[in-house]
Structure 1
Amino acid sequence: MNRIVVCGLSNRALGMFIQPVITQFSQQNEIVGLLDPDGRRIEIARESFPSLSSIPVYHPNQFQQMIKETNANTVVVTSRDDTHIDYILQGLENDLTVITEKPMVTNANDAKRVMEAEARSNGKVIVAFNYRYNPFHRRIKEMILEGKIGRVTSVDLNWYIDTYHGASYFKRWNRDRNRSGGLSIHKSTHHFDLVNWWIDQKPEQVFAYGALNYYGKDGELNPSPTDHRYCSTCMEKQNCQYYMRWSNRRNNLAVKDDHIKSEGIEKSAQNYTNYRPDSCIFDHEIEIEDTYAVTVKYDKGAFLSYSVNFSLPYEGYRLAINGTKGRIETTEFHEPSRIPFPYPEQTIEYYPLFGSKEIIHVLQNEGGHGGGDPLLQEDLFMGVDPSRPYQILAGAEAGAYSIAVGEGVWRSAKENRPFSINELLKQTSDSSQLV
């Protein structure tokens, strides 16, 4: 029996981990402790899941007490990004299995600390990279393993975040690099891990350009240079195109924010103590980048050309993977309810180096992140699927490489120079494989 304690009662904790454990995987898993600094979040968890009412609750400084009293063997880390490191290290010190949301940590130095702690521990770290489990992403992995395109030589990945989703990062704590690592870590680690996993190569060097083009004090659509506004009380929101695209002018009701998981800003704020999820996206304090263009060099010769924008008319990505025997292409449009034009169904196009194009239709499953969440949950709470012929569940090293690339991106943009991944992780190259 997995005896699970949950550190950080975020919406992700409730929906991705607590709910399935209680409703689907209770024969093999039991939640035995909850930890969060916010009493209101504990109330929300217990209101949402009455079976948690008898479960003991703890403050962050009571981690060791929690493990002793609950006899836990598994820790789920779903707290704010910058606090992951504390719970991961304490979990490893107690030889526990640590399941952490991405990003594993917020900087390369902490990533190195996690790998070193895991090497000393009888426990292990699992990073919940659910995007690996998306059916299209699994099929691409399988095609590469089948040798369809030969040795991978280059990857082009362009990611698009729409104004609705992109603005949400700049309303909340994510806009503080000390808390999130910046968006090249908080968000792009998803993407860097996918590429690392697809091509099974280690990133060696990264160079990037980055800029703050849309948000912050110099945002061109800022109604005025006023600081410290909040959407729920702002007198200028009818002049804010970011707000009004998703709002009704007559009653100023914002539509549901899929990252806040509530019916409005005011209701969302009631789910936390002293937390404002509606800070102005044009505040002067914002200095993280919202646009990147990146090049990554890999140890087996591949190159990655990556870009991401956090304020675009639609959400999705375009991908091409080139190899010595052919090319894979796919385009995905996310969040159809927010796309104001017709768009094609996602397929995978395969172009052999010599021959005819093939169009591959992928069988999809239901669930979050393109059907990835339910499959990840099965691996986490039932054990890895023994019929799958390749590694998919991510460990600490995979988490660390994604973090190092992400930090290399923003540092390169700041310092205008390439960064070595080993320089960032302060380690020498070895022959171990990404997992």
Structure 2
Amino acid sequence: MKKVVVCGVSGRALGMFVGPMLKTFGHHYQIVGLLDIDPLRFDFCRKQYPELSGVPGFAPNEFAKMVAETKPDVVLVAGKDSTHAEYIVQALRHDLDVITEKPMAISSEQCRDIIRAERESRGKVTVTFNYRYSPYHRKIKELVLEGKVGRVTSVDLNWYVDTHHGSSYFKRWNRKRENSGGLSIHKSTHHFDLVNWWIAQKPVEVFAYGALNYFGPDGELNPQKEDGRHCETCSVKPNCQYVMRWTTRSKEVVPPDDHLVAQASPISQRFTTYRPDQCIFDSEIDIEDTYAVTVKYDRGALLSYSINFSAPYEGYRLAINGTKGRIETTEYHSPGRTPFPIPVQTIDYIPLFGSKEVIGVVQNSGGHGGGDPLLQEDLFLGPDPLREYDILAGAEDGAYSIAIGEAVWKSVRDNKPISIPGLLQEAYGSPERADRATAFGR
């Protein structure tokens, strides 16, 4: 049985990892330590999972003490994005395996520290890109591997985050780049990793435009310019369309937020110092909510990507073009929040010369389109021996997705193309080595 410590007792840590380890994989894993800045999170964790009542809690500066006292085999990292790299590196220096929530880090410089530490360690980093495991995404990977589209030449990916989900990022710590790296890292690394994995090419250059169109003090729907408001006590909330879209004047009916814990308790009582209901129109917001991005890959593919964090519905539209054909699909998320009937998702394969084939996909239950349970099995039982391709992500995968995300916001800031090898060379301290392989010390 392997012993696990948890760094960051977040809602994602509890729902995605702690619960399954206790309920499904308890014969293989034992949680022996919790680390977080907020003792209230320990209390909530132990109330939700009484079997952890005797598990000790540690402060953020007590990582070494936690390792010495609990002697873990695996470190699970699932706290605020800006804390990931610190705990990953410390774990690797103790020769421990790491399972980390995405994004693995918030900068290419932090990726450098992680890769270097992994090279010098007996430990290994696994990044939990659960979206790879969706049955639709696995089928797309299989079609590409089968050669259906030939050599991939271009990808069009347009992502839409609805007004409930999108605004939630601007209520929480994600709204500051120093905490999250911005949404081109916190959120879009999911999407960049999918494309990197689907086409098996490496990104080399990024150009992007971006803006803060909806949130912040200049948002057109800001009912009143005033900093420091919180949704729970806001006097102008009845005039905020982002709140009232999901509630009524007499009764709170806002959909639950799966990023948070302790939904039933008042927001002001859930955490010691953290308020997840900060006003989406505060002037401290320093990230973008809209991006249009072009990425060039090492084997010639071009990605055209966009994301909007204040859309009327949630989902994406995808097309993968190649020398032999095209793959198309559209996915809608959150049917309870979508203002129209959602069709059953299919994948269209259209050969360059031939008739369209409509492909249905066998679905499985679970979060993130059925991906979460399969990811958990690979994490805690080992890779599925019947799967003929790699799907678990490592540190290099995490680094490339983060490098694209960092290149996006830097391109927006500087209005120029950003070299991915340049970012990785800068991070890896080897500017004279121009190719991507040597950037990773190969």
Structure 1 segments of 4+ aligned residues over 6 angstroms from their partners: none
Please state how far the C-alpha of 1:248 moved relative to its aligned partner: 1.2
CA distance in 1, matches of 2:260, 2:7: 19
Code of the aligned partner of 1:237: K
Matched, 1:99 2:111: no
CA distance in 1, matches of 2:211, 2:168: 18
Q: Is the 8 A contact 2:267 2:277 kept in 1?
A: no
Q: Is the 8 A contact 2:424 2:439 kept in 1?
A: no
Please state how far the C-alpha of 1:10 moved relative to its aligned partner: 0.2
Please state how far the C-alpha of 1:255 moved relative to its aligned partner: 3.7
Q: Is the 8 A contact 1:149 1:352 kept in 2?
A: yes
Partner of 1:182: 182
Partner of 1:21: 21
* Overall identity of the aligned pairs, in %: 63
Q: Deviations over 1:50-83 (max 9, x none)?
A: 1111112211111111112111110000110000
1:378-389 paired onto structure 2 within 5 Å: 378-389=377-388
Q: Is the 8 A contact 1:89 1:117 kept in 2?
A: yes
Q: Which moved more, 1:32-41 or 1:351-360?
A: 32-41
Q: Is the 8 A contact 1:255 1:263 kept in 2?
A: no
Please state how far the C-alpha of 1:432 moved relative to its aligned partner: 8.2
Q: Is the 8 A contact 1:133 1:372 kept in 2?
A: yes
Please state how far the C-alpha of 1:270 moved relative to its aligned partner: 2.5
- SS at the partner of 1:149? coil
CA distance in 2, matches of 1:269, 1:71: 36
CA distance in 2, matches of 1:274, 1:212: 27
Closer, same or farther in 2 for the Cα pair 1:86/1:433, shift >3 Å? closer
User: TM-score, with normalisation over the residues of structure 1?
Assistant: 0.97
Q: Is the 8 A contact 2:223 2:239 kept in 1?
A: yes
CA distance in 2, matches of 1:114, 1:269: 36
CA distance in 1, matches of 2:424, 2:383: 29
- SS at the partner of 2:170? helix
- SS at the partner of 1:98? strand
Number of residue pairs aligned between Structure 1 and Structure 2:
433
Please state how far the C-alpha of 1:262 moved relative to its aligned partner: 4.9
CA distance in 2, matches of 1:384, 1:343: 33
Q: Is the 8 A contact 1:166 1:311 kept in 2?
A: yes
Partner of 2:401: 402
Q: Is the 8 A contact 1:98 1:124 kept in 2?
A: yes
Code of the aligned partner of 1:289: E
Q: Which moved more, 1:360-369 or 1:252-261?
A: 252-261
Code of the aligned partner of 2:230: Y
Q: Which moved more, 1:355-364 or 1:52-61?
A: 52-61
CA distance in 2, matches of 1:269, 1:371: 33
Please state how far the C-alpha of 1:430 moved relative to its aligned partner: 4.4
Code of the aligned partner of 1:234: C
CA distance in 2, matches of 1:208, 1:16: 32
Please state how far the C-alpha of 1:87 moved relative to its aligned partner: 0.4
Partner of 2:389: 390
Code of the aligned partner of 2:298: D
- SS at the partner of 2:131? helix
- SS at the partner of 1:286? coil
Code of the aligned partner of 1:244: M
CA distance in 1, matches of 2:212, 2:254: 25
CA distance in 1, matches of 2:41, 2:291: 34
RMSD across aligned positions (CA)? 1.4
Closer, same or farther in 2 for the Cα pair 1:383/1:432, shift >3 Å? farther
Partner of 1:299: 298
1:205-216 paired onto structure 2 within 5 Å: 205-216=205-216
Partner of 2:222: 222
1:313-324 paired onto structure 2 within 5 Å: 313-324=312-323
Code of the aligned partner of 1:368: G
Partner of 1:63: 63
CA distance in 1, matches of 2:275, 2:436: 45
Please state how far the C-alpha of 1:223 moved relative to its aligned partner: 0.6
Q: Is the 8 A contact 1:256 1:262 kept in 2?
A: no
Please state how far the C-alpha of 1:431 moved relative to its aligned partner: 4.3
Q: Is the 8 A contact 1:108 1:424 kept in 2?
A: yes
Code of the aligned partner of 1:273: T
Q: Is the 8 A contact 1:201 1:300 kept in 2?
A: yes
Closer, same or farther in 2 for the Cα pair 1:321/1:169, shift >3 Å? same
Q: Deviations over 1:251-289 (max 9, x none)?
A: 45534233325546x634423112211111011111210
Please state how far the C-alpha of 1:343 moved relative to its aligned partner: 2.5
User: TM-score, with normalisation over the residues of structure 2?
Assistant: 0.96
Structure 1 residue runs of 5 or longer lacking an equivalent are none
- SS at the partner of 2:169? helix
Partner of 1:115: 115
Code of the aligned partner of 1:203: P
